[in-house]
Amino acid sequence: MTTKLMGQGVQRVEDQRFLRGQGRYADDVAVGPATLHAAVLRSPHAHARILDIDVSGVLDVYGVHAVWTYDDLTGPMAEPLPLLIPHPALTHGRTQYALAKDEVNYVGEAIAFVVAEDRYVAEDALDRIRVDYELLPPVVGIDAARAADRLVHDDVPGNVGARLEQEVGDARAAIAAAPHRLALDLTVERSACQPLEGRGTVARWDPDLNRLQAWTSTQSSTGVRAALAVKLGLDLGQVDVITPDVGGGFGVKINHPWPEELLVPLAAKTLGRTVKFTEDRREHFISTAHERGQVQHVEVGFDDEGQLLGLDVEFWHDHGAYTPYGLIVPIITSTQLLGPYKPGAYRVVFESLYTNTVMVTPYRGAGRPQGCFAMERTMDAIAEYLGRDRTEVRAVNFIQPDEFPYDHGLVFQDGRELEYDSGDYPAMLEKIKALVGWDEFPQFQKHMALQGRRVGIGLAAYVEGTGVGPYEGAHVHIETSGKVKVATGLTTQGQGHATVFAQLVADELGCRFEDVEVVTGDTRRMPYAVGTFASRAAVMSGSAIHLAAKRAKEKVLKIAADALEAAEEDLQIVDGVVSVIGAPSSSLDLGTVSVLSNPLRYAFDEASKRATQFSVGDPGKPPVPEDEEPGLEGKDFYSPERATFASGMHAVIVETDPDTAEITILKYAVVHDCGRLINPMIVEGQIHGGVAQGVGGALYERMAYDESGQLLNASFMDFLMPYVTEVPDGIDIDHLETPSPLNPLGIKGAGEAGVIPSAAVFAAAIEDAERIPITAMPISPSDLFALRAHLPPT
């Protein structure tokens, strides 16, 4: 029998390379004296009109090859960058230009682009550029945007890019009629992901092939390819985009595209040289994207049991200066905020506000952490008000296992209603309670209190729409050596795709796991693809790979049946060998079947599996059955009916220091349901990484803008990320597997889950330890100190 690898914690095949320093990132491509390097002049002001740019003298700097401003851009390059996800409610969508046209709207916006022999020369040359600005009053933060006494974009009244309201039932009437009512005002501050590798692009133009090749650190190589074709006026077929190793993406490397991703290839084509740009850390802080950043007002009506009767959520979303992703983040907040609960009547309304700050685009979790914060704070507030256990209040509101598919009646981005496919929230609650020791905790809390120590416990639940379409494809090719090459178009940033996809192929095809090589994010190998975001790779590419491997297997069996003079149904493939069941000597290895599928006949050296000779095959006999093409391969695409809904619950126990207000994590527990697991070890790694990022978002990280729009903590010296010392040592993880009925493998996504409930769960635990309402995250020791003293937070 074939070893079944689905569900096995197979070690990551990619780690050997990474651990030995053999990863190849964008900055490792085209290292050498022939490569030119780019640097970008960025706005030092948050809001200003550009009156004049003087670049005279820049080309005189020895080693400078080009200096461009907006006026040097022509055709589609002079148009604003794409608005990737339009929405009818986004009445005032705005995107930036590759180089600022006549106005800058955040500190860090690109104004001029210099290409030189090396980065030092390029940066020195930037100093020669003189920009004459007329300063405009900046709008910084949600309060300033709402006050609207100054505008980010002159033609956007009230700084409101969009206002969107959805209502199911009459929420306000239901709340008014409810036996109990509460109102909460909540804040989640702006933060950002910090991939270790910043953005980076290398490009070269091949004049012989009339073809552009770009290597870029992206989450969507096909997106960058499309943008390059459109903006540079090329055919798609003239552009190859290759994604080398990517040192983290977390959302910000989905293609807008970034200005540099266009300018570098344009420079390569124009100058006929290889050109490279690698972002530095400060650039990442001030010119890449941020997220979170919402102010929320919740009103809720409920009965004596804590059952929700009506929920009314209003929130204001800080979108920064531009909206390249349309409304995707606030729409996710507004539609997935309800988590595993039935809200009674529900109304949600948000305003997406422009501010003179770095634009906001999806960061791991993408609007869900904010939604989870609103919902879970509400659950805790209800429990506190009624004096009931927090888990009981949650339990009375759960969607029950027999209610799937469950439709809240809310409309998502694509205009379709969101429908949860599967889950078992009551079972999950029991698991998390057991894992964290919920029922025993009050005893422990009392015991600690006797020693003058403050401990608290918190719990938070969420759902996550994962595996969104429209499609992903896969191409499985069996080489004459018997090795199996699998190409899928989405990219990989550390999620272990080379391992999990190989597991799927080995299982379906029956080859050896070690013989599978996975290629991702190379448009030469798979030109039709979407990208890696929305926790979609396992569902989308996983399903496509499974289907493509199935096709390849069908072909293997047909050809082998012919060669072995056996019926297909009498064959099996185990460890890369096709044999007649019950007659193992009657067999062929996959490499030989591949040879047989080829019109040419190869002579092979058995030991090395290398071709030593070839000749023309039998002209009277096609190499493969009539309905098949030559070559041993299978290709397929997978397109889902709708998103699958993963879910999870996290619980944390914290201790707060009575004197210093330091917050220490004593225990962190996670129960997660991503349907059938391909590789539990990898899923757990994803959860660990997400929790680490969540700890940062809950306790440490915030974007500290001053009122003039300067980001004061734009370096790792000042932006506080958790180190390994701040991340819980052992995270207890338990899985629940409710298979998704929507895809052949029953999978749901897992890549963002770890980060979603962090703010909610820490707020709950700190509140429990301190008996002080926690309504704003992140919370630092000094914030907690201020709250204790009834002081405004720092």
**Closest distance of CB 217 from ligand MCN, Å:** 10
3-state secondary structure of 631: coil
**CA 260 remoteness from chain centre:** 21
**What dihedral do alpha carbons 676, 679, 685, 689 form, nearest 10°?**
-50
Q: Supply the DSSP symbol for 559.
A: H
**Closest distance of CB 540 from ligand MCN, Å:** 8
Residue 396: in which H helix or E strand, if any? Answer: helix 390-397
Token representation of residue 788? 């204790």
Residue whose CB is less far from ligand MCN, 174 or 646 = 646
Where does this chain bind ligand MCN (CB under 6 A)? 195, 248-251, 364, 466, 493-497, 500, 532-538, 674-679, 682-683, 686, 689, 747-752
Residue whose CB is less far from ligand MCN, 324 or 751 = 751
**Closest distance of CB 350 from ligand MCN, Å:** 22
Residue whose CB is less far from ligand MCN, 12 or 551 = 12
d(CA 281, CA 258): 16
3-state secondary structure of 693: helix
Angle among Cα 126, 130, 132 to the nearest 5 degrees reads 140
**Closest distance of CB 341 from ligand MCN, Å:** 23
Residue whose CB is less far from ligand MCN, 366 or 590 = 366
Helices then strands, counting H and E runs in the chain, come out as: 18, 31
Token representation of residue 764? 């709950």
Q: What is the 3-state secondary structure (H, E, C) of 239-302?
A: EEEECCCCCCCCCCCCCCCCHHHHHHHHHHHHHCCCEEEECCHHHHHHHCCEEEEEEEEEEEEE
**Closest distance of CB 468 from ligand MCN, Å:** 10
**Closest distance of CB 30 from ligand MCN, Å:** 23
Residue whose CB is less far from ligand MCN, 361 or 535 = 535
**Closest distance of CB 434 from ligand MCN, Å:** 22
**Closest distance of CB 192 from ligand MCN, Å:** 12
Residue whose CB is less far from ligand MCN, 152 or 289 = 289
d(CA 148, CA 81): 26
**Closest distance of CB 708 from ligand MCN, Å:** 31
d(CA 640, CA 317): 30
Residue whose CB is less far from ligand MCN, 457 or 518 = 518
| φ, ψ (nearest 5 deg) of residue 115 | -120, 130
Nearest to 691 by CA among 750, 769, 766, 737: 750
d(CA 180, CA 176): 9
| φ, ψ (nearest 5 deg) of residue 583 | -135, 70
**Closest distance of CB 753 from ligand MCN, Å:** 8
d(CA 233, CA 77): 9
**Closest distance of CB 459 from ligand MCN, Å:** 23
Residue whose CB is less far from ligand MCN, 217 or 775 = 217
Residue whose CB is less far from ligand MCN, 532 or 592 = 532
Residue whose CB is less far from ligand MCN, 146 or 676 = 676
Residue whose CB is less far from ligand MCN, 85 or 448 = 85
**Closest distance of CB 716 from ligand MCN, Å:** 18
d(CA 615, CA 603): 8
Residue whose CB is less far from ligand MCN, 9 or 44 = 9
Residue with tokens 């709950």: 764
Contact indicator for 345, 433 with CB cutoff of 8 Å:
no
Angle among Cα 654, 656, 661 to the nearest 5 degrees reads 145
**Closest distance of CB 684 from ligand MCN, Å:** 9
- The per-residue b/e assignment along 244-277, b for 16 or more CB within 10 angstroms, e otherwise, is bbbbbbbbbbbbbbbbbbbbbbbbbbbeebbbbb
Residue whose CB is less far from ligand MCN, 240 or 245 = 245
**CA 496 remoteness from chain centre:** 14
| φ, ψ (nearest 5 deg) of residue 146 | -70, -35
Residue whose CB is less far from ligand MCN, 616 or 724 = 724
Task: Please count the other Cβ atoms lying within 10 Å of the Cβ belonging to residue 107.
Answer: 26
Determine how β-strand 103-104 pairs with β-strand 48-54: antiparallel
**CA 714 remoteness from chain centre:** 22
**Closest distance of CB 289 from ligand MCN, Å:** 12
**Alpha-carbon separation of residue 182 from 364, 382, 772 (angstroms):** 31, 8, 17
**Closest distance of CB 466 from ligand MCN, Å:** 6
Amino acid at 349: V
**Alpha-carbon separation of residue 596 from 479, 552, 559, 562, 599 (angstroms):** 11, 14, 7, 10, 8
**Closest distance of CB 531 from ligand MCN, Å:** 9
Residue whose CB is less far from ligand MCN, 231 or 364 = 364
Residue whose CB is less far from ligand MCN, 69 or 201 = 201
Q: Supply the DSSP symbol for 793.
A: P
Amino acid at 436: V
